[in-house]
Amino acid sequence: MTTQTRPVSYRELIGKNKNFRDLWFGQIVSLMGDWFNLIATAILTANLTQSGLAVGGLFVIRSLAQFFTGPIGGMLADRFDRKKILIWSDILRFFIVLGFLFVKDASQIWLLYTLTALQLGISGIFFPTKDAILPDVVAESEIGTANALTSTTWSTMLALGAFLGGQVAGTWGIAPALILDAFSYLLSAYFIAKISYTQTTTKVSEPLTVKDVTQQYFQGVSYLSKHKPIFVLAIQKASLMLAVSGFNDVIQVELSSKIFVVGEGGSTSLGWLYAIVGVGTGVSPIIARWITGDRERALRHAITVGYGFTLIGLILMYPISSLEMVMMGGFFRGFGIAIIWVFSTTLLLKKLPNEVRGRVFGTEFALFTLAGAIGAGLGGWFLDAFNFTLQNLILLMGILMFSFGIYWFINGVWAAKKTIVEASVQ
């Protein structure tokens, strides 16, 4: 039987690993600002255009921008200093976000879309790099703990950032939310700059050519095509984005701006809807990991359970009987989504070799952002062009989620069972 190193506790990781602590602090402030930005731009788009398709278009742009740059970010993370990439990404986004302050009326919606594409395009470089650098700043025994903590932080900031963003935008207007978002990037860059980091990738002195970029862009896809078990893990986020998150982004803006309107243009109620999902996504990885530990077989079964919780959330949300019931559905939906998201990432971090880690995470990032764009685009289109009701969209989400859950169980649990058993007796 193989022996496993005891995973460290969250307190030990934060207290003893300064590099991870600085990376984590940067994540906290940056994500707080990101949720301020999402609430502000979504409500601004809805109020200026009064169009579900326009709102869907905003989320399509947010996703597509990251789809195109995500693999490039992964390629850069495997070639250059990951710390420097993170810092420059934050600095550039600081200046871009300030540009949102110039959007004043519907005729300038093109500017809002352009700035969104630039901001999220750089985010498409930032996030795969952040995923790739994580194993560089933690020990192997810390990977599961670090991944769970960073994912829980994302969820906590979703809950807190969306709530506060909705309160700020709903009470004082959109401009303060945007300004806070911009300065959060500078604070994030400050914390990342404090990390003591030595480049772990092979240093390359030759300049990048178009051929290099093109070849390396598709190397993550090539790796996934040759390693089906990794592919099955890497498409879990894409499944969630296509089946749930893309559609739900449009649904929540419609609910808050037209049905449950609280605060300026529904800013406050939209913040509540995102916040309750954040609470669900925040608590579930902690609870689930307390049960599963970092055992591969347990993690895989937990992902299956995550699909079940997500379906329960959609069932509770379906009647749209009250804001409270919709929020309860959001909690359970977030609870299930986080288990799938966090545990699939943990398994990828443990299985991917360092030399391709960035490119695979970049490809994974591109896949789930493209799926989110498709979901958001279809959601807005169905509402405007085909007079779909919000309940029609929720039913479609449930059908897709059930189908993807079955696919996961067959290929991610049942097919992996033999491999896990063999590895455990070696």
Task: Annotate 22-37 with DSSP letters as a single string.
Answer: HHHHHHHHHHHHHHHH
Task: List the alpha helices (DSSP H) in 293-322.
Answer: 296-317
Q: Considering only CA atoms, which of 340, 328, 315 is closest in space to residue 273?
A: 328
Closest CA to 93 of 21, 8, 172, 36: 36
Q: How confident is the model at residue 267 (pLDDT cuts 50, 70, 90)?
A: confident
pLDDT for position 425: 39
CA angle, 148 as apex, 117 and 21 as ends, to 5°? Answer: 80
Pair 310, 336: CB distance under 8 Å? yes
Q: From residue 348, give the alpha-carbon distance in Å to each of 41, 81, 133, 351.
A: 33, 22, 14, 5
State the burial class of residue 239 (Cβ atoms within 10 Å of its Cβ: 0-12, 13-18, 19+): buried
More confident residue, 408 or 367: 408
Residue 137: phi and psi, rounded to 5, are -110, 0
Q: Kindly state the average pLDDT of the residues 134-154.
A: 82
For residue 57, which of 249, 272, 240, 238 has the smallest C-alpha distance?
A: 249
Instruction: Provide the token pair at 175.
Output: 């401009």
Interior CA angle at 149 toward 362 and 359, to 5°?
Answer: 10
Scanning 205-322, the segments in alpha helix (DSSP H) are 210-217, 219-226, 228-234, 236-240, 246-254, 267-292, 296-317
pLDDT greater than 90 at residue 410? yes
Distances (CA, A) of 397 to 291, 403, 425: 28, 10, 41
Residue 208 pLDDT:
62
pLDDT at res. 210: 66
What's the Cα-to-Cα distance from 134 to each of 74, 138, 195, rounded to whole Å? Answer: 13, 6, 12
pLDDT digits over 187-219, tens only? 999 999 999 887 766 666 566 666 766 676 677
Q: State the pLDDT at residue 150.
A: 83
Most confident of the following: 16-30, 45-59, 396-410: 396-410
**Reduced to 3 DSSP states, what percent helix, strand and coil does the chain have, rounded to the nearest 5?**
85, 0, 15
Percentage with pLDDT > 70 across the chain:
92
pLDDT single digits (tens) 59-106: 889 888 888 887 788 788 888 889 999 999 999 999 999 999 999 888
- The pLDDT assigned to 352 comes to 87
The tokens describing 198, both together, are 């030595």
Structure token digits, residue 283: 């608590």
- CATH number at 10-196+221-417: 1.20.1250.20
Supply the pTM of this predicted model.
0.72
Chain center to CA of 414: 27
**What's the length of the chain?**
426
- Give mean pLDDT, residues 222-228: 90
Rounded Cα gap, residues 51 and 384, in angstroms = 8
Asked which of 10-14, 84-88, 117-121, 160-164 is least confident by mean pLDDT, the reply is 160-164
Q: Is residue 35 a contact partner of residue 157, using CB atoms and an 8 Å limit?
A: yes
Q: How does residue 175 score in pLDDT terms, banded at 50, 70 and 90?
A: confident
Residue 369 has pLDDT above 60, yes or no: yes
CB atoms inside a 10 Å sphere around CB 84: 15
Among the listed residues 45, 35, 26, 4, the one whose alpha carbon sits nearest the alpha carbon of residue 380: 45
Q: Please compute the mean of the pLDDT values over residues 405-418 and round it to a whole number.
A: 90
Query: In the Cβ-directed half-sphere of 285, how many Cα atoms lie within 13 Å?
Result: 28
| Token code pair at residue 197 | 């980091």
* Per-residue model confidence (pLDDT) at position 424: 45
Confidence band for 350, pLDDT divided at 50, 70 and 90: confident
- Please give the Cα distance from 346 to 146 (Å, whole number): 9
Percent of the chain with pLDDT over 90: 38
* pLDDT: which is higher, 96 or 222: 96
Query: What is the average pLDDT value for the chain, to the nearest integer?
Result: 86
Q: Across residues 166-182, what is the average pLDDT?
A: 84
Q: How far is CA 8 from CA 4, 256, 339, in A?
A: 12, 41, 20
Q: How far apart are CA 420 and CA 418, in angstroms?
A: 6
